[in-house]
Amino acid sequence: MLSQEQNDQLTRVGPGTPMGELLRRYWYPIALASDLDGFPVKKVRLLGEDLALWKTPEGGYGVMQEKCPHRHASMAYGVVEPGGLRCGYHGWKFDTAGRCVDQPAEPDDSTFKDRIEGFAGKAQELGGLVFVYLGPDPAPELPRYDGFVMDGVRDIGHTMLPCSWLQIMENAVDPHHVEWLHGNYFRFLGEEKGFIAPPQFQKRHVKTAFDLFDHGIVKRRVLEGQSEESDDWRIGHPLVFPYQMWVGGNGVFQMQIRVPIDDDRTWFMLYTVHRPSGIDLPEQDEIPSYVFPWIDEDGEHIVDYIEGQDIMAWVTQGPITDRTAEHLGTSDVGIVQLRKLFKENIAAVQEDRDPLGVVREPHDVIELPIEGDKFGAGYSFATAWIDQGSMRYSPQKAFLRDLHVQAAVARGEQVLEEVES
């Protein structure tokens, strides 16, 4: 339970708010690179700010305030040109730093444009995503977390959710929900509706732990039948502060990304790399992407897959959950720790220090901890995730599944199903 004031502070992300100022110290993916290959400019929203994002003819990216500083028409309807984005209304042109570089209707000898500047952020592409930074200069390095740069077969599922990013992040330090939401509830649904829920998620938690590291919080668990020698305890996997979680195992690597669009809307993305050992991985010309559904035609939550269950739990809490009326127990200590971590880092920003996870050193890759053998489940962890997670909506689902089965055969694992190709 928190006071209302604390809940407000932790969930308000707009400019000038304490949390908003903290969150502006990080880069966020705000579009798929492929979005801008078809048409080079689009409207985006991040941290409560409307923006125009464009791909320059030179192959870079620019992002600036959506409203033209002239008379506030949308720059998302602008003209992309070498050297900048030109407003569609009267032709004022802005470079990627936000400087006005042309006002074609003003006299040739006018210096008016030199006194006009729009707010501009920074934008870069990494791993097929366009990342944006809206904070103060100097911008930190865009962290090259291993999931975005590693070899493998990529798959991007995404959807927009009508709830605060914070209640999604609190789920990332709540290991117990796995055995209940994805275990017990999934099993109940299967029994009622006539399918077999994945048994890998039904094991009881014996103990959990949360350890701070340079990029967030490493989450560890011992499940029934496991020892402290298991990967789930010895290695664990991290909440990547402040808005991501790195999860996977058994040849699947997934960055779960929760982009705060504003206080009560979150762009939820599952950026997955499939890299089972034992086979040569095929080249990928483009990264398939898709929107996965979570509401059916009757307006009910779709809960017969893993992320649909998570989304039900996040969205039914309300747009911003009322933390003055909650009842946390000892199994929620990860959440208590995360809230404290946010407050500590809000304070760091207020004291002009870099908050946790801000990277200043140029680097090739940042490797994050992740389990190799997840839940002791072997290759079936990967196939269950594909069959009964959001990847069941992927246009390459059958191919991904076959990839893991073929790799298991090549590794000499016992495989209980036919290999299709």
List interacting residues with another protein (CB under 8 A).
Answer: 1-3, 5-6, 8-9, 324-325, 327-330, 332-333, 336, 339-340, 343-344, 347
Choice between 34 and 337, CB closer to another protein: 337
Pick 56 or 345: Cβ nearer another protein: 345
Q: Which is nearer to another protein, 344 or 367 (CB)?
A: 344
Strand order in the sheet with 205-213: 205-213, 216-223, 237-240, 244-249, 252-262, 265-274, 153-161, 289-291
Burial class (CB in 10 A: 0-12, 13-18, 19+), 165: buried
HEC per residue, 352-420: CCCCCCCCCCCCCCECCCCCCCCCCCCCHHHHHHHHHCHHHHCCCHHHHHHHHHHHHHHCCCCCCCCCC
Report, in Å, the least distance between residue 344 CB and another protein.
Answer: 7
Give the residue among 248, 242, 200 at the shortest CA–CA distance from 225. 200
What minimum distance in Å lies between the beta carbon of 18 and another protein?
Answer: 8
* Positive or negative torsion for Cα 251, 312, 266, 79: positive
Residues in Cβ contact with 393 at an 8 Å cutoff, skipping those fewer than 6 apart:
157, 290, 292, 293
Q: Which is nearer to another protein, 67 or 339 (CB)?
A: 339
Shortest approach of another protein to residue 206 CB, angstroms? 18
Between 175 and 378, whose beta carbon lies closer to another protein?
A: 175
Task: State the minimum distance, in angstroms, from the CB of residue 322 to another protein.
Answer: 10
Which residue number, 5 or 229, has a Cβ lying nearer to another protein?
A: 5
Smaller CB separation from another protein, 98 or 175: 175
Measured distance CA(245)–CA(255) in Å, rounded = 6
> How many angstroms from the chain centroid is the CA of residue 337?
21
Q: Which CB, 74 or 337, lies closer to another protein?
A: 337
Neighbour tally for 156: CB within 10 Å = 21
Collect all residues with Cβ–Cβ distance below 8 Å to 147 and sequence separation of at least 6: 127, 246, 253, 254, 255, 271, 273, 368
CB of 243 to another protein, least distance (A): 19
